Structure 1
Amino acid sequence: MNVVDRYLEDYQVGEVRRTLGRQITEADVVLHAGQTGDFFPHHMDERWAIEAGLGGRIAHGTLIVSIAVGMTAGDVNPQAMSYGYDRIRFIKPVFIGDSITVKAEITEVSDHPRRPELGRVDERVTVTNQDGDTVLSLVHLYVVNKRS
């Protein structure tokens, strides 16, 4: 990873980053279940998932959020820090064996409402599967130091 100093003034609405694909594996799902304690049959029991009409085991939504955010984390920026996530939507299920790609677009650059030395950057994160279907959408919020 590179260390890149980007201040609020360096961000532009409309900037887009795109990732390469990543396949979701059974190991991903099993490890996430163990870490979170979410062993619901939707994720762990193939027969149950098929009989429930799901078409097979589906990955945890929180797993896909974690992987998608990790896929967009390329450079370390000491001038910015994650402030949280808004409007998280699990639009379509992600199945074991699906490949996902991520698009991250800057949608807003603004002053921080309470801290004049900081700004805020909103980034729309859209996750698609191998068929081009949107499976997840969220807004990643950052607080960013101002240059001055």
Structure 2
Amino acid sequence: MAYSYKPHYFEEFEVGQTFQSPGRTITETDVVMHSAMTSDWNELHTNSEHAEERGFGERIVHGPMTFVQTIGMVMRIGILERTAFAFLGMNYMDLPNPVYIGDTVSVDIEVAETKSLESRDDVGLVIFETEMTTQEDTVVFQGDMKFFVLSSENTES
């Protein structure tokens, strides 16, 4: 399977298209950096004994970090390189299972909707159904990511 894709303009996206990111192993450093950046030092992420007592068996990755890693991996796919105009949010986001330090995660996305805008001719709306899974195919993130994507009809050569 190819993991590197060329940038896509709005007109190049079609409902049903799928893309996959390369895998990435979540490290101790990732968790420490996220904790430091957000000031979220919750013991589920930073205290092995506490996480074990809570039934997780070991420390887990922050839920918001799972989202941040997902959107980073969507961008790493390459289809939105220099064509993403704005991330507009999500209608839903689910974190059905925890990510653990040492898990290798990857992201699959599918174009769920494309919509031309009457109010703008420089961008179009693209909605991606997004799913992150671990090396064991455990789903750890699901959501619909909405982007304004540049139109090829209005780019400078």
Q: If the length of structure 1 is used for normalisation, what is the TM-score?
A: 0.87
In the alignment, structure 1 segments of 5+ residues that lack a partner are none
Alpha-carbon separation, structure 1, partners of 2:137 and 2:121: 41
Paired residue total: 146
Residue 83 in structure 1 maps to residue 91 in structure 2:
no
Residue 127 in structure 1 maps to residue 132 in structure 2:
yes
Partner of 1:48 in structure 2? 50
Say which is worse superposed, 19-28 or 29-38, in terms of deviation: 19-28
Give the residue type in structure 2 aligned to 1:41: E
SS at match of 1:95: coil
RMSD after superposition: 2.0
Partner of 2:101 in structure 1? 96
In the alignment, structure 2 segments of 5+ residues that lack a partner are none
Q: If the length of structure 2 is used for normalisation, what is the TM-score?
A: 0.83
Identity %: 29
Aligned-pair CA distance for 1:113: 6.0
Aligned-pair CA distance for 1:116: 4.6
Alpha-carbon separation, structure 1, partners of 2:21 and 2:119: 33
Alpha-carbon separation, structure 1, partners of 2:23 and 2:123: 33
How do residues 1-148 of structure 1 correspond to structure 2 at under 5 angstroms? 6-74=8-76, 75=78, 77-86=81-90, 87-112=92-117, 114-146=119-151, 147=153
Deviations 1:37-92 (A, max 9, x none): 10111111100010111211100111121122212223364343232331111110
